[in-house]
Amino acid sequence: MVYQVYPRSFQDSDGDGIGDLPGIEQRLDHLVALGVDVVWLSPVYRSPQDDNGYDISDYQDIDPMFGTLEDFDRLLTAAHDRGLRVVMDLVVNHSSDEHAWFRESRASRTDARRDWYWWRPAREGMEPGTPGAEPNNWRSFFGGPAWEYDEATGEYYLHLFSRKQPDLNWENPDVRRAVHDMMTWWLDRGVDGFRMDVINLISKVPGLPDGEVHYGAYGDGSPYYTSGPRVHEFLQEMHREVFAGRPEKLLTVGETPGVTIEDGVLFTDPERHEVDMVFQFEHVGIDHGSSKWDVKPLRLTDLKATFGRWQVGLAERGWNSLYWNNHDQPRIVSRFGDDGEHRVASAKALALLLHLHRGTPYVYQGEELGMTNAGFTSIDQYQDIESLGHFHELVDAGVATEEQMLVALRAMSRDNARTPVQWDASEHAGFTTGTPWLAVNPNHVTINAEAERADDGSVFHFYRRLVALRHDVPVVALGDFHMLAPDHEAVYAFTRTLDLPAPAEGPDGVASAASTASRDELLVLVNVGGAEQEVPPEVLAGWEGAEVLIATHDDAAARRAGVLRAWEGVVLRRS
């Protein structure tokens, strides 16, 4: 299991209200208790923090807010000593506009680094710097145009994210070489791999054509930069230049918004040497309407359809990653679960559902506690650049009212995931002695790590058991997946199956009588809702008397065959 730490919100050690590297070190034992294999650190590099560190101004230094390179080395050693591996966030689709590369690039049209970024003149016949004169009509991910006009040199630069995140030009081999060198520097320092930020956006269709306009003033450029023409070539080159021949075991995961299953296979087929796995976005898009701010209720059959297709699509070649949460997504218990009456049961049920799929599970800090959305009610409480950008774009354009946008942010803002980790019931939840950079959720008084560690029925201990199962039971990690009852709107059901090889031959070279191959099988049943559900009889046929491997509800005596209580999940095993 990979556990994501968002350093700014994990643990503060110096009272400035912002989490830091020594703080992470203090909390490593929590991760060990959970059974974590790998820690993914969101960016801790030097950064102006326009997008909370996803805007890097020096790839080979630590931001003073988080500590020093010495603090980093100490954390790495402390993690390795506990058997934890550490994966860095690699943000190389763009740098910060304060990176030396970009400062040089913007200095003049003839600078040696001009071509390290995407510079273009104004649209033909338009006055540079005037509305609509951008080189094309693409909208940035954070609202507004994807181009910034630079008066000094009279051209625009491309930024798919904020104007302080100029896109690097991967067509230029010098850019790629600089990135490879930087990656090697971190691997030599002892890091165990990379989570690669929006890595399928690095190759753009060079003509940068206009996109279709779905709403507002700007167009959708994604067909021209999502899994673009050279992306596989770039990743294979990166593998050759950085990873090939290194003796240590490393992990690479590409964050790939908009990736299709076909491309997912190409990215993760081990024989192609690109990345170990990707984060796909389909299941976190099924509650989006015309945009992520247009929130639709979950239809369970949609979730089954998308997860089912990915499980089948990557069954033969490639490998899935499994996640509900990260620092960009609202909390799963508030989103697809029930963060009121059924918080504990629904957090466990959704965890069980996800962790019994085939693939590598990711847990985002606080998810293992069943932490909920932030519950902010005023725009002043938000800090996230995406939330603020869209609020102002849509409200100013009259597309949505302030009230509508506040409702949308309450459901979808990235800040929902970014409130500080709730360690205990004290003021500021044990996160800081100072003033937290983003408000601590008042529910930390009851929802916190200290209380959950002491309660065997907590969400924390359930996650711990799920992680242990994956380590101990091969069919959980490796078994084939088969979806059942795809049309049922409340019960999520599937099987996992693994043929076990016959036991090894005895020392005399003769297999024992009991050495026939056997099959291990699981039936996973989850009630995704608050009403009692009958499991369709055809799903249960043949499973009478099977052993219960794990269940969300402890009171086995109250369990009735064929019936799932509110948010109940059960895994049956027969072999």
141 binds ligand TEU (CB under 6 A): yes
Q: Which is nearer to ligand TEU, 94 or 343 (CB)?
A: 94
DSSP classification of residue 237? H
**Chain center to CA of 349:** 20
Calculate helix-pair angle for 231-238, 173-189, nearest 10 degrees: 40
Q: Are 322 and 467 in contact (CB under 8 A)?
A: no
Indicate left, alpha or beta for 160 from its phi (over 0: left) and psi (-120 to 50: alpha): alpha
Q: Which is nearer to ligand TEU, 257 or 479 (CB)?
A: 257
225 binds ligand TEU (CB under 6 A): no
Cα distance between residue 525 and residue 569, in whole Å: 6
Token output for 235: 């990743």
188 is known as an active-site residue: no
Strands (E), 143-229: 147-150, 155-158, 193-196, 212-215, 218-220
Q: Are 244 and 273 in contact (CB under 8 A)?
A: yes
25 binds ligand TEU (CB under 6 A): no
- The string over 59-91, giving b where at least 16 C-beta atoms fall within 10 Å of a residue's C-beta and e elsewhere, is beebbebbbeeebbeebbebbeeeebbbbbbbb
- Which residue is it, tokens 């990711």? 362
Q: Which is nearer to ligand TEU, 198 or 485 (CB)?
A: 198
Q: Provide the 10 A C-beta neighbour count for residue 102.
A: 22
505 is known as an active-site residue: no
159 binds ligand TEU (CB under 6 A): no
Minimal distance, residue 15 CB to ligand TEU, in Å: 26
Residue nearest to ligand TEU as judged by C-beta position: 54
Q: Provide the 10 A C-beta neighbour count for residue 495.
A: 19
Minimal distance, residue 319 CB to ligand TEU, in Å: 20
Q: Which is nearer to ligand TEU, 51 or 521 (CB)?
A: 51
Minimal distance, residue 161 CB to ligand TEU, in Å: 4
Minimal distance, residue 90 CB to ligand TEU, in Å: 11
6 binds ligand TEU (CB under 6 A): no
Q: Which is nearer to ligand TEU, 22 or 254 (CB)?
A: 254
51 binds ligand TEU (CB under 6 A): yes
**Bridge partner list, 85:** 38
Kindly tell me which residue out of 12, 274, 328, 415 binds ligand TEU, with binding defined by CB under 6 A: 328
Minimal distance, residue 180 CB to ligand TEU, in Å: 20
Cα distance between residue 46 and residue 239, in whole Å: 25
Kindly tell me which residue out of 54, 66, 234, 423 binds ligand TEU, with binding defined by CB under 6 A: 54
Kindly tell me which residue out of 31, 75, 91, 199 binds ligand TEU, with binding defined by CB under 6 A: 91
Q: Are 336 and 514 in contact (CB under 8 A)?
A: no
Q: Which is nearer to ligand TEU, 6 or 481 (CB)?
A: 6
198 binds ligand TEU (CB under 6 A): yes
Q: Which of residues 388-417 bind ligand TEU (CB under 6 A)?
A: 414
Minimal distance, residue 407 CB to ligand TEU, in Å: 17
Q: Which of residues 63-82 bind ligand TEU (CB under 6 A)?
A: none
DSSP classification of residue 168? B
Q: Which is nearer to ligand TEU, 415 or 520 (CB)?
A: 415
Cα distance between residue 347 and residue 368, in whole Å: 9
197 binds ligand TEU (CB under 6 A): yes
292 binds ligand TEU (CB under 6 A): yes
Cα distance between residue 3 and residue 464, in whole Å: 12
Which residues are identified as catalytic?
197, 255
Interaction site with ligand TEU (CB under 6 A)? 51, 54, 91, 141, 161, 197-198, 255, 257, 292, 327-328, 386, 414
